[in-house]
Structure 1
Amino acid sequence: MYSVRSARQFSTSALRAVSFKTVPASSDSVSSLKVIVKNAGSKSGPSGLAHLVSTSTFLDTPEKSGLRLKREAELLGGEYSAEITRDALILKATFLKEGLPFFVNALGSALAKASFKPHELKEVAGPYSSYVNSLKTSCPKTKGIEELHAVTFRSGLGLPLWYDGFKSYSTEDIKTFAKSAFLTENIEIIGENVDSADLQKFVSESSFASLPTGNDVIAQPQPTYTGSESRIRRAGKTSAVLGFAVEDADAFELVAAGLVANAPSTISANVESKVLSYDGASLFYFSVTSSDAAETSKIIKDAAKHLKTLDFSKYAKYASYLAGKPVTSKSVTIPSEFNLVVIGDVDNAPLKSEL
């Protein structure tokens, strides 16, 4: 595994800032590409706009329609997708190894030559983005974690991850956002089961070479807030999520492990605790979701109590298992305040002041 700067290989100025990386193959015949566009995530623009950009990415270009691109990719035994995170837009492609030139060009064209036509926004990107938001947030836990971001960060990382349809955007808005984000300094290309020299050669000959250069954007610390509470009444299961921004993400992997280890065993409740790491901030949360609001109430109260009383340093082994990486034992300082979100039967869920 290694990372090199293409400026050492090519004289094309637009490629000098593109970062390349190859990773060990997981299959002899199947290859994959991942293009990470930093500063193109949901935190980087108006509410929901980045998600609209992502769903518009593999539609028409001057050379090919979205339908033709899809058919050609399928004929080559490959597939592609785009997804949005809070930090980045991520394009992915999986294909047979000999399809590398086609998919490098397809991903490059998706960034450099997307047409962003008005009818595509109205008929495809807009409705699909709203559908994804409705589908994702129909889960009370997901809705709770989204709301926790909103009360913890407010702006930036607190903006909705998906387009909720409450704001109207034009294709010019999409083009402006894409133009500001689709810069070579923001691009990292990761290839799996591909030859590094071939990857760099094909990228230099593709539409990636026509992307403009810009200035490196350094992630800034995100303003954070604690002591907030949000309660959203909704039919169905009840989810309670408590959390707060943290600086030492590894330390709070211990806290996540300790809270999960001490949660009661139950077949009716789903319990989860994680640390979500972003550029400029990390967010710790503990969530419980159950069809029984009383059960949700009891488990979230117990978790709040454990936050104040447990010795989390002894959960290093379990934390390593849950996080999928080594976590060392250390002392953890728990903030005096946290944020609480309740989705569902808010009448039978505790107030933050009761935890």
Structure 2
Amino acid sequence: MISRTALTRGTQLAISRQSCTKVAQRRTFAAAASGGSFESTDVAGVKVASKESHGPTTRLAVVAKAGTRYEPLPGLTVGLEEFAFKNTQRRSGLRIVRESELLGGQLKAYHTREALVLQAEFLRQDLPYFTELLAEVISQTKYTTYEYHEEVSRVISLKQNKLSALSLALDSAHTSAFHTGLGSPLYPGGTTPIGVYVNENSVANYAQAAYTKSNIAVVADGATQAGLAKWVEPFFKSVPSSSSGSLALNTTPAKYRGGEQRTSFVGPSAYVIAFPGASASESKPEIAVLAALLGGESGISWSTGFTLLAKAAATAPHARAHASNLAYSDAGLFTIQITGPATSVKKVAEEAVQGLKAVASGSVSKEDLTKAIAKARFDILSSSELSGNGIVSAGTNLVQGGKTPQVAETVKALESVTAEKLKTAAKTLLDGKASVAAVGDLHVLPFAEDLGLKV
């Protein structure tokens, strides 16, 4: 049994050390952040970025500016994703699988609203093989009729039918906010007639527009810049410099509009409240702190947590909620996402708006502000350590003409956030138009007007 005296001494020791190590901790944060940044260069017309993690494995990805916001027809991004790592001019799909398994590698393809990602994870000594494979996939894939009908279209249909209420609500919120472009859903809805727009020929044409040197970035986590460039130069030589297909990317700039959509759905309900947020190219640290203050599920399992949404969800059975800023190249969407039984979702939505109004009135305590800044700092640093997140962020920024994310600068900017800046940020959101999406039991879920939101 631990004595009260020993516990008190330990607590006192921790407190005494806290002030002595404050400066050292800040330096550690900055060092860790700067050490986790990607270095970028141009290799034979291809944007290349790498980060040396000094580990035994490497993650390598081709990030193409071919997410759903750029597709000229619905379903093309998903079609291109599903054709990845199938038959090429040099290898059959079976050979790709067998060779990758023999090397212990893992392959996957996925997409965001702005990027299509082809990723390989492997032992770092196998960098030459997987660099060659990714180059081959984007420049020599066969878009065959039988694979489209037997595999690609079937998988697209399955994904259409497995969309959750929250996925549908997020898509609806984006559609209300931006209409087209960023407003395009991540996956086509179940009622979208994919066969009208997508076939092996249209996907092949979209590939010619997406897979060009100016439209891709090659990003590695766990490789040196020199080591990566050595293999990118010969293997990506065959990637075309410009598009030769009949389809062009939809490059219309994002324009925020706002609005409301309501969709009936059988099962758990979802509700999304969104406002114009911060884009990837903007420095708005107060938005990150506001998202941390609203928060969501507590990081401490036996505690409700200090965040506004965590407290609201704790009083609503089976409800879950969290806030986040979704940053895109030319726009941002600050979202409050709520899921659960319709009655619980309604209660949390009402309390979330009241909490946001409380922040806008300046009622945030100094302690809660300190906790929110610390949480925002942790979220940024921990996210930068996740290879998948870092690769997508670095690659997307490069293909958009920007620079790779500078984590140290982002973390340092959080120190400038004050209670007054947080108040102004919340008030700005509430004064503007919201984008609201309700999916589920529409008899219970509130309208935006019921919450006092302007759409």
| TM, length-normalised to structure 2 | 0.70
2:204 is aligned to: 175
Q: How far, CA to CA, are the matches of 2:223 and 2:374 in structure 1? A: 35
Helix, strand or coil: the match of 1:213? coil
Letter in 2 for 1:300: A
- Unaligned runs of at least 5 residues, structure 2: 1-37, 244-248, 296-306, 382-409
Give distance in 2, aligned partners of 1:178 and 1:218. Answer: 14
Alpha-carbon deviations, 1:97-117, whole Å to 9, x = none? 221111111100110001111
Cα distance in 2 for residues equivalent to 1:265 and 1:351: 19
Pairing of 1:30-179 with structure 2 (within 5 A): 30-38=57-65, 40-45=66-71, 46-135=73-162, 137=163, 139-164=164-189, 166-168=193-195, 169-179=198-208
SS in 2 for 1:300: helix
Which of 440, 447, 455 matches 1:344? 440
SS in structure 1 opposite 2:443? helix
Q: Match for 1:52: what amino acid?
A: G
Question: What are the equivalent positions in structure 2 for 1:290-301 lying under 5 Å apart?
Answer: 290-291=340-341, 293-301=342-350
Q: Alignment identity in percent?
A: 25
Q: Which amino acid aligns with 2:287?
A: F
Of 310-319 and 232-241, more deviation after overlay is shown by 310-319
Shift of 1:265: 4.7
1:231 paired residue number: 262
CA, structure 1 residues 31+321, in 2 after alignment: closer, same or farther (shift >3 Å)? closer
Matches of 2:355 and 2:213, distance apart in 1: 47
Secondary structure of the equivalent of 2:90?
coil
Shift of the alpha carbon at 1:130?
Answer: 2.5
- Structure 1 equivalent of residue 358 of structure 2: 309
| Matched position secondary structure for 1:268 | coil
Indicate which of 252, 259, 262 corresponds to 2:308. Answer: 262
Per-residue CA deviation, residues 2-36 of structure 1 (Å, 9 max, x unaligned), is 21211xxxxxxxx32x1112212262x21221211
SS in 2 for 1:225: coil
What is aligned with 1:318?
A: 375
Q: How many angstroms apart in 2 are the aligned matches of 1:308 and 1:344?
A: 26
Letter in 2 for 1:342: A
Residues in 2 aligned to 1:342 and 1:252: alpha-carbon distance in whole angstroms: 24
Q: Aligned partners of 2:378, 2:227: CA distance in 1, in Å?
A: 37
Equivalent pair of 1:49/1:163 in contact (CA under 8 Å): no
For the residue of structure 2 that corresponds to 1:146, the secondary structure is helix
Equivalents in 1 of 2:54, 2:338: separation in Å?
35
For residue 229 of structure 1, what is the amino acid of its counterpart?
E
Alignment correspondent of 1:353: 449
What is the Cα deviation at residue 259 of structure 1? 2.4
Return the TM-score normalized by structure 1.
0.88
> 2:170 & 2:50 partners in 1: Cα distance?
33
- Per the alignment, residue 12 of structure 1 pairs with none
What is residue 276 of structure 2 aligned with on the other side? 245
Q: Residues 30 and 95 of structure 1 are in contact (CA less than 8 Å); yes or no, is this contact kept in structure 2? A: yes
Return the letter of the residue paired with 1:3. S
Q: What secondary structure, in the 3-state scheme, does the structure 2 residue paired with 1:83 have?
A: strand
* 2:304 corresponding residue in structure 1: none
Q: Match for 2:272: what amino acid?
A: V
Higher fraction of helix: 2
Cα 1:286–1:26 change in 2 (3 A) is farther
CA contact (8 A) 2:175 2:184 kept: yes
Displacement of 1:323: 4.3
AA partner of residue 281 (structure 1): A
Distance (whole Å) between structure 1 residues aligned to residue 274 and residue 257 of structure 2: 11
Conserved 8 A contact 1:219-1:280: no
The answer to which of 166-175 and 251-260 deviates more is 251-260
CA distance in 1, matches of 2:336, 2:326: 11
Task: Tell me how far apart the structure 1 counterparts of residues 188 and 92 of structure 2 sit (CA, whole Å).
Answer: 24
Asked whether the 8 Å contact 2:181–2:250 carries over to 1, the reply is no
Q: CA deviation at 1:340?
A: 1.3
Where does structure 1 lack aligned partners over 5 or more consecutive residues? 7-14
Displacement of 1:223: 1.4
Partner-residue secondary structure (3-state), 1:150: helix
Alignment partner of 1:61: what SS?
Answer: coil
Structure-1 separation of matches of 2:290 and 2:54: 33
Aligned to 1:222: 254
Separation in 2, partners of 1:250, 1:58: 39
Deviation at 1:220, TM superposition (A): 5.9
Q: Which residue of structure 2 aligns with residue 334 of structure 1?
A: 429
Whole-angstrom CA distance in 1 between matches of 2:221 and 2:377: 26
Q: Which has the larger radius of gyration?
A: 2
Contact in 2 for aligned 1:41/1:87 (Cα 8 Å)? yes
Amino acid at match of 1:352: A
Pair 53,70 (structure 1): closer, same or farther in 2 beyond 3 Å: same
Give the corresponding residue for 2:9: none
In proportion to residue count, which structure has more strand? Answer: 1
Partners of 1:183 and 1:335 in 2: how far apart? 42
Structure 1 residue 60, shift from structure 2 partner: 0.7
Q: Is the 8 A contact 1:152 1:339 kept in 2?
A: yes
Q: Is the 8 A contact 1:48 1:160 kept in 2?
A: no
Deviation at 1:334, TM superposition (A): 2.0
Match of 2:328 in 1: 278
- Paired amino acid for 1:102: Y
